[in-house]
Structure 1
Amino acid sequence: MGKASRAKKQRTREESSGWTAAGAARDAHRRRRSTLDLLPGNPFVRAMLTQNNSNRMTELRTVLDRSTVPVPHREDMSFAMTLGKQGLAPPWPAGPQQATDWQIRQTLNVLEQADVCVISPGAHAAVMAAAATLEPADVTTLDRESDIHAPTGFVVLPEPVVLVNRGGGLSDTVAFGWQFISQHQVLPTSTYPGVQLTTFMDRDGPVQPPEWRMVVTQARANHTPLPPFVPDGMYGLRGDRATADQSTEDLASLSAEHRQLNQALNRVARPNAPSEIGEWDGGRIEDVHDDFAARYMFAFWRLASHGTTSIGPVAPRRSPAHPDTTSQRPDRDIRVVRLTHQVPSQRTHPEEAGQGRVYSRRWPVRMHKVRQWYPSTQEHRLIWRGPYIKGPADAPLVMGEKAYLVD
């Protein structure tokens, strides 16, 4: 179910140069704890999500009414395409309020149970660049057992990502939560291993129109302030390599069908083809087909599983209770995602530069698919290579620019 699009005006984008793992971990811990306290029973969040659910179901029913789906099955199909994909089993809820209450319970479970990660600006930039190379159908090759490091997780970005949503409205995303589920589908009735994905916007983020500030102020005046992490949308992803063995042409056809459905839902005709070169310059992200969350998290999981990023503990920090002592303690409940230094330094001895080409920058190499032959099982499997970071480990990571080559 898509994001609650808010027509918001962008403020100055925060710089990430002051980011530290310890500071990000403390902030993530504080905001998660506050969200767990403020989200249950919050009438403003419930009203926003209920309106979002109602709008989404109305749009989907309108499209199905113009489709070839048999009339008696259209209601079931609309629920299966939304709540069923998110992990809710029939019988379906009586109305959007009941659907919202179920979604909030799911969100609270993720916040309570998840391993929490903060992602560094460099790793985040690499994930953004990798996500830009993905087609919608690529995400359906996800294998949750081998691609995802934990069945439940919560990742906080170093800064909110500003999205241009359906109809041109702006919103921001600052965190993602996930958990393993079983998806429930109809025509035919079936279940699949899946992943429930929840997006969170920043209550105090970079996009703040007057209407949003009014809601924040009113919620505080009513003694029910909005949580720092505001749940914004919920999605369901197949997690069983559903299309991993299909041809490139089949995947392209699935991507086209995805775009056609979203164009029908939103009357959006602008193309949104992925970039052949993974780039991200920190600007707004076009999300008119409502697939940024899935593409970002697919890239996040794949980079971690392939070693392009590493997930580990936050470096120990001084205890605030004893500022003068040399003893340190780590943030045990928060982990940090960093770029892995995969290439040894090639710049420390300039006099050796003549022996080979030396790069002065690091850059992401796009994800690409290959059919790998496995002799042990006598079969081909579609696997991903990349994305990975090329260039010397001590060089700056550059997005949206060519790497300079030093001879």
Structure 2
Amino acid sequence: MWQHIRLGMDPAQAWHETAAWMMGDAGYPCPWPHNAQLIADYAVWEREQQLALLRDAEICVISPAAHAAVIAAALTVDATDLLTLDRDTDIPLHAAVVVMPEPIVLNCRNVALGDLSVLGWRHITSYGSAGEEYAAVGVSAMLRPDGPIHTSVWREFMAEARAGGYPTPPWFPAGTNGMRADASTRSAAAHAEAIARIRTRHMLHSDVADLIRSDDDVPVPDTAQWNGEPIPDPYNDFAERYLFAFWRLAAQGVTTTTPSTPTPGPAHQLPHGSIADSPDTADIRLVDLRRTAERSPGTDTAPGPRHYTHRWPVRMHKVNQWYPSLGRHKIRWRGPYIQGPANARLRVKETAYHLST
């Protein structure tokens, strides 16, 4: 709200725009009066949204190799790519959560570090400040109470929860963000409006000294790999970019999805409230990279087994491919995977070539 006032809005208008970003974007409709009751009502609504997601969602557990490939793909995605998303044709499940094998550590602009362990989505309608309505996806970020980042505020909250006798769930909701999913690139007017909205959002996520910087100044790599380091997230949109990459890689056949029924071990080895406690474990989907069978040159026999002592990322790049049957472009990736055994150490090495004449 303060940043909206810095942009020249009066307090009432600044609050309306702020409420649209914070609540309308997540699917909470007008009116947004500036009072304490609205915040209380929104908190109840947000809680119900999270409970509905956990009740309705299918669970997708992503393998370490597929996880690394999705991160590498997400690193090539920018905000304009997200505008190509059509939730009716690009998203295979109406409501689901993706459980990551390890937390993603994010280097955000407004906080030093953050982490992310689970991402969920549901179809929603987003509301703009001028009464616009958009087909959208509500993206719910969740984190583990025992995750890698422990800020002082988080530690105080956890201590208060324990002291009050309130157990914290294994997946702790961190709020819902709206992700536009109406394929706005199909219309010139809608695309221009969406681009202006992106630039405003980027300005609001930047420091005051950077407010005049355009998002065009932020380079997006044509190729990417992930080496396990914290991921820059200056505009607080990596969760959306991760899911966009996940959906597109699944759609183009880079990943495989198989149902699985986990076999629970002894009850004392499982935390209370874990996946194995649920009677609906047959709804869990395991998402892994598709591995094609390699053949020896000139023969039909499979090569002998290979043994690697480490794993390494293979670079990838994206293309904005035209689909005549759909009448629009869709992002595709080529070449993303992590080579080597899943339990081996990840190695990232630059190669230098010496050329002589």
TM-score (norm 2): 0.76
Aligned to 1:302: 248
Q: Deviations over 1:99-151 (max 9, x none)?
A: 22211111111011100111110010000000000111211211111111111
Partners of 1:318 and 1:234 lie apart in 2 by: 31
What CA distance in whole angstroms lies between the structure 2 residues aligned with 1:71 and 1:182?
27
State the AA in 2 paired with 1:290.
N
| Secondary structure of the corresponding residue to residue 3 of structure 2 | helix
Instruction: Give me the whole-angstrom Cα distance separating, in 1, the residues matched to 2:101 and 2:291.
Output: 20
> How far off its partner does 1:199 sit?
0.5
Distance 2:295 2:243 in 1: 30
Provide Cα deviations, 1:184-223, integer angstroms capped at 9, x if missing partner: 2232x22121100010111011122455334323311210
SS state at 2:223 partner: coil
One-letter amino acid of the structure 1 residue matched with residue 206 of structure 2: Q
More off after superposition, 334-343 vs 204-213: 204-213
What are the equivalent positions in structure 2 for 1:26-41 lying under 5 Å apart? none
Structure 2, unmatched stretches of 5+, are 268-278, 305-310, 353-357
SS at match of 2:2: helix
Out of 193-202 and 306-315, give the one that drifted further. 306-315
SS at structure 2 position matched to 1:313: strand
Aligned equivalent of 1:85: 25
CA distance in 1, matches of 2:97, 2:209: 29
Residue 81 (structure 2) aligns with: 138
Distance 2:32 2:7 in 1: 22
152 and 181 in structure 1: CA distance in 2 versus 1, 3 angstrom threshold: same
Total equivalences in the alignment: 322
Q: Which residue of 2 aligns with 1:232?
A: 174
Give unmatched runs, 5+ long, in structure 1. Answer: 1-60, 322-328, 351-359
2:185 corresponds in structure 1 to 243
Work out the CA distance in 2 between the residues paired with 1:243 and 1:147.
Answer: 14
Give the residue type in structure 1 aligned to 2:93.
A
Which position in structure 1 is the counterpart of 2:113? Answer: 170
Contact 1:118 1:157 in 2 (8 A): yes
The residue identity in structure 2 corresponding to 1:339 is: L
- Is contact 2:109–2:206 with CA below 8 Å preserved after alignment? no
Q: Aligned in 2, Cα 1:319/1:166: closer, same or farther, shift over 3 Å?
A: closer
1:145 counterpart letter in structure 2: D
1:312 to 244, 254, 258: 258
1:101 aligns with 2:67: no
Please name the residue that 2:287 is paired with: 337
CA distance 1:361–1:156, shift in 2 (3 Å) = closer
Change (3 A) 1:96 1:121: same
Q: % of aligned pairs identical?
A: 30
Between the aligned partners of 1:107 and 1:91, the Cα distance in structure 2 is 22
Match of 2:329 in 1: 382
Structure 1 residue matching 2:32: 3-state secondary structure: coil
Cα shift at 1:174: 0.5
Q: 1:228 to 1:142 in 2, by over 3 A?
A: same
CA distance, structure 2, for counterparts of residue 344 and residue 167 of structure 1:
47
Structure 2 counterpart of 1:368, one-letter code: V
CA displacement 1:290-326 (0-9 Å, x = unmatched): 11111111111111111111222126648869xxxxx
Structure 2 residue aligned with 1:363, among 304, 308, 314?
A: 314
Offset at residue 367 of structure 1 (A): 2.1
Native 8 Å contact 1:361 1:403 kept in 2 = no
1:126-275 counterparts in 2 under 5 A?
126-187=69-130, 189-243=131-185, 256-264=199-207, 273-275=219-221
Q: 1:89 to 1:341 in 2, by over 3 A?
A: same
User: Is the aligned partner of 1:67 residue 2:7?
Assistant: yes
Change (3 A) 1:393 1:253: farther
Alpha carbons 1:135, 1:273 under 8 Å: kept = no
TM-score by length of 1: 0.68
Structure 1 residues 265 and 338, CA, compared in 2 at 3 Å: closer, same or farther? farther
Deviation at 1:71, TM superposition (A): 7.1
Deviates more, 1:89-98 or 1:158-167: 89-98
CA contact (8 A) 2:315 2:335 kept: yes
Secondary structure at 1:204 match in 2: coil
Distance 1:86 1:342, change over 3 A: farther
- Cα distance change of structure 1 residues 219 and 149 upon mapping to structure 2, 3 Å threshold: same
Alpha-carbon contact 2:223-2:318 (below 8 Å) kept:
no
Taking the TM superposition and a 5 Å limit, the aligned residue runs for 1:112-127 are: 112-127=55-70
Letter of the structure 1 residue corresponding to residue 66 of structure 2? A
Aligned residues of 1:368 and 1:384 also touching (Cα < 8 A): yes
Q: Judging changes above 3 Å, is the alpha-carbon distance between structure 1 residues 398 and 228 closer, same or farther for their aligned structure 2 residues?
A: closer
Q: What amino acid is the match of 1:190?
A: E
SS at match of 2:222: coil
> What's the CA shift string for 1:257-291, capped at 9, x where partnerless?
54323215796889753332121111111112111
CA distance in 1, matches of 2:152, 2:159: 10
Q: 1:58-104, CA deviations, whole angstroms, 9 ceiling, x for partnerless residues?
A: xxx22222336687644333222221111111122643232222111
The 2-side partners of 1:144 and 1:197 are apart by 12
Q: 1:76 — aligned with what?
A: 16
Spell out, residue by residue over 1:148-169, the C-alpha distance to the aligned partner (whole angstroms, 9 max, x if none): 1111111111011111222342
